[in-house]
Structure 1
């Protein structure tokens, strides 16, 4: 039984900084650090006291907080950007000031049990309760003890400082130091990796993907229809359903031989694009087109043939910052309805191909330089007036099992990305149990969510305490 009315009380808030002093210095933002809003993530753990008894440890909440704060201060020695702040330099450009000013660390208590939290509806159960608002610095962390003894660790990151990949490096390093293990990956702040070329060059396709905010028409205030409100939901998709979607997205000849293989992410995205389109009534909605994008990490794309590949690969693997692009496709709603899932998956594959080269990311860096560091936004986020738009950002490779602060892996985890834009945002993640299931965080317009839930395919199921084995 979910508990709707419960309180989370903040007991203590303090600033945590690196355990070692550091020389104050500037760290420039790269040309790819200027695009995205804050993002949150939370990890839910069963009662650590019960878990610790199984492994002969003595853990109480105070000792848990001490472990987390001590290891955080140690982690910040390597990840010093999270202990700084973003300010304008003398030229009016945003930069990191690495001053070890620290960030907010909050201790709280929630009068609810883990099994009573309605994870399916994070707007009701998570927002403003377990994932903190960023008030000091570029990071905020909240550790909440629940009535059952369970623990929720919530984090909010300034996306200008780090993309999800970088935040994940930090989280894994934090958990490793909490377990007194050596760091498996050190961060790299070598901004020269993303310096623009001279002379710069970019393909015209970049102009279609990003746009300076200053060129957009002013936002008009409007009274939204309740069905146009943006809401968040968390679902799970079983591994066998993901494989079935992939099978439908692949193309076979008459002998059954595959000759176009689509990834699970491409297949999932094609299905989501098509299922929402199938519920759109062009006459009543006025929508003719539907845009769909996927976030691409450029770290593996930026290896140059002109340097020691092994050394640069190692640097990029640990690169701390943003190395993202958001290619997208735009198709007529009627085509998405009538064509096969295989056809839609091919469209997804084709627009993703745009961002799969080194030249694309080098061109994106040069594009920002050519536009004089003007605040820019992904075009798909800026085109809400012409029809629906959805962006998928996959976290399928995140090692959730490794976020273990001495008391077992999380029973549940999810990103939390509630922002004001009307473009939808979807984040598929692996279930910590590692059984092939996906956890899917969705931040979509209400009518889109209703279409998904009304689908007879029943691919998306609400996350429940029973599914998470919390009951």
Structure 2
């Protein structure tokens, strides 16, 4: 299908610091940051050849110069995560800088296999972060194309924060003023005195100290417990059809709710033991859940909750898609302002005990456990450094846990289409391709150049019992 067996040569390594000196200081993690275990997430952007070699070098210089300027406002990304005497992470804002690598990959963009990301992207085009908070790699391809890959410390930034940084980075490169300036004021997420929370939060998060040690690698079952990454393409017509079938009785469900319900149904279809559980978690961004008087749209850091719902395989198989979508909607709607305030208070009550979302860990009676995160605000089209927008971009998050992770993002090639990143057990990905190949198409370079086509497509979603 594509080329995975290509080599990548690192031509130069350096550290890019903020162009202006900053006063070294400590920035505490918020209580919502403390809910994240040490994880890195990756992002990459692909650009076709637009210039000759001399201009390519100018492009790299533009990227580096804009990065050093962006780090003045986004100084947290140039720091280091250090643990205090209680074992909690804190951010040392010392302008250590960002590890920056210039690389060459012996592959053409058209041959890059973005369907099999673990072979083509992981550790090749998206760098492994060894130090600091952010690592950047700019890779020149054999065809003259360019890939910008980044790895972020998730304890410092969520996807919303990363998007804010990306937009600013590209705006600076084009000589524009920043449309958003980050706010690092942790007092915006201070716990209440006295604190209070809904007891349901006790069932959402668990203490790491209560977990059994992980099994030795030799005890893991291949092809069952091993998670891999793939990217799929879904057309706007199929998404609209899903939404139509997931909505009923005058209640219109969002596209993400409809997609999540559909995915939940597929997971149940693969289960033979009707008593086993299927768990579905939804990442909820709290910025839009608070009173508008408290402006949080520029807040930089983690502002996430991970509510989830579960039902048996038999129950989900018996439910129509709209009923499953109703359950998804109820799960998401419950994460309002009071939920986040309660979550902040809950963390404060249990500090310095390390906690993590319960759905991160698949239990013995689970048929499937998946987390869906919306990437609908992913800013691929705005990553223009002065030579045009990318031809493709995606998140890459092989988080190493036992639970699957799915992120649908807007396609840059055709309005309304989606690109869907999936990190799931191979048997579940094979199930999706078997049961829903009419919806999930493996991503190919052909999808990068789709022309808008308003012709009607005949949806085959009825092929699955909804």
Q: Report the TM-score, using the length of structure 1 for normalisation.
A: 0.92
**Alignment match of 1:448 (pick from 428, 445, 448):** 428
Confirm whether residue 40 of structure 1 aligns to residue 20 of structure 2. no
**Alignment match of 1:461 (pick from 430, 438, 441):** 441
- 2: CA distance between counterparts of 1:175 and 1:265? 28
Equivalence for 1:404: 384
- 2: CA distance between counterparts of 1:219 and 1:147? 42
After TM superposition, give the deviation of residue 337 of structure 1 in Å.
1.5
- Give the 3 Å change call, closer, same or farther, for CA 27–220 of structure 1 in structure 2: same
- Aligned runs of 1:157-168 on 2, under 5 Å? 157-168=152-163
Q: Is the contact between residue 48 and residue 151 of structure 1 (CA under 8 Å) also seen in structure 2? A: no
Equivalence for 1:54: none
Equivalence for 1:12: 12
Equivalence for 2:245: 248
SS in 1 for 2:34: coil
**Alignment match of 1:73 (pick from 59, 68, 75):** 68
Equivalence for 1:266: 257
Unaligned runs of 5+ in 2: 451-466
Q: Greater CA deviation, 86-95 or 425-434? A: 86-95
Confirm whether residue 366 of structure 1 aligns to residue 357 of structure 2. no
Q: Is the contact between residue 4 and residue 119 of structure 2 (CA under 8 Å) also seen in structure 1? A: yes
**Alignment match of 2:124 (pick from 121, 125, 129):** 129
- Aligned runs of 1:336-351 on 2, under 5 Å? 336-351=316-331
Equivalence for 1:53: none
Q: Greater CA deviation, 450-459 or 17-26? A: 450-459
Aligned residues: 446
Confirm whether residue 293 of structure 1 aligns to residue 295 of structure 2. no
SS in 2 for 1:282: coil
**Alignment match of 2:225 (pick from 224, 228, 241):** 228
SS in 1 for 2:209: helix
- Give the 3 Å change call, closer, same or farther, for CA 161–456 of structure 1 in structure 2: closer
Q: Is the contact between residue 245 and residue 271 of structure 1 (CA under 8 Å) also seen in structure 2? A: yes
For residues 24-52 of structure 1, give each alpha carbon's deviation from its aligned partner in whole angstroms, at most 9, with x where no partner exists: 001110000023321101000111317xx
**Alignment match of 1:142 (pick from 117, 122, 137):** 137
Q: Is the contact between residue 265 and residue 316 of structure 2 (CA under 8 Å) also seen in structure 1? A: yes
- Aligned runs of 1:62-461 on 2, under 5 Å? 62-221=57-216, 222-252=219-249, 259-282=250-273, 288-303=276-291, 309=293, 312-313=294-295, 316-355=296-335, 357-387=336-366, 388-456=368-436, 458-461=438-441
Deviant stretches of 4+, over 4 Å: none
Q: Is the contact between residue 107 and residue 144 of structure 1 (CA under 8 Å) also seen in structure 2? A: yes
Q: Is the contact between residue 48 and residue 59 of structure 1 (CA under 8 Å) also seen in structure 2? A: no
Q: How well do the aligned residues superpose, as a CA RMSD in angstroms?
A: 1.7
Equivalence for 2:21: 21
SS in 2 for 1:351: helix
Q: Is the contact between residue 384 and residue 422 of structure 1 (CA under 8 Å) also seen in structure 2? A: no
After TM superposition, give the deviation of residue 395 of structure 1 in Å.
0.9
Q: Is the contact between residue 327 and residue 351 of structure 1 (CA under 8 Å) also seen in structure 2? A: yes
- Give the 3 Å change call, closer, same or farther, for CA 456–432 of structure 1 in structure 2: closer
Q: Is the contact between residue 413 and residue 448 of structure 2 (CA under 8 Å) also seen in structure 1? A: no
- 2: CA distance between counterparts of 1:456 and 1:432? 23
After TM superposition, give the deviation of residue 92 of structure 1 in Å.
3.8
Q: Is the contact between residue 362 and residue 402 of structure 2 (CA under 8 Å) also seen in structure 1? A: no
- 1: CA distance between counterparts of 2:202 and 2:324? 24
- 1: CA distance between counterparts of 2:400 and 2:85? 31
- 2: CA distance between counterparts of 1:456 and 1:223? 28
- 2: CA distance between counterparts of 1:91 and 1:391? 30
After TM superposition, give the deviation of residue 352 of structure 1 in Å.
1.2
Q: Is the contact between residue 211 and residue 377 of structure 1 (CA under 8 Å) also seen in structure 2? A: yes
Unaligned runs of 5+ in 1: 51-57, 253-258
After TM superposition, give the deviation of residue 61 of structure 1 in Å.
1.9
- Give the 3 Å change call, closer, same or farther, for CA 161–358 of structure 1 in structure 2: same
- 1: CA distance between counterparts of 2:304 and 2:220? 33
SS in 2 for 1:384: coil
After TM superposition, give the deviation of residue 216 of structure 1 in Å.
1.7
Q: Report the TM-score, using the length of structure 2 for normalisation.
A: 0.93
Q: Is the contact between residue 197 and residue 343 of structure 2 (CA under 8 Å) also seen in structure 1? A: yes
SS in 2 for 1:39: strand
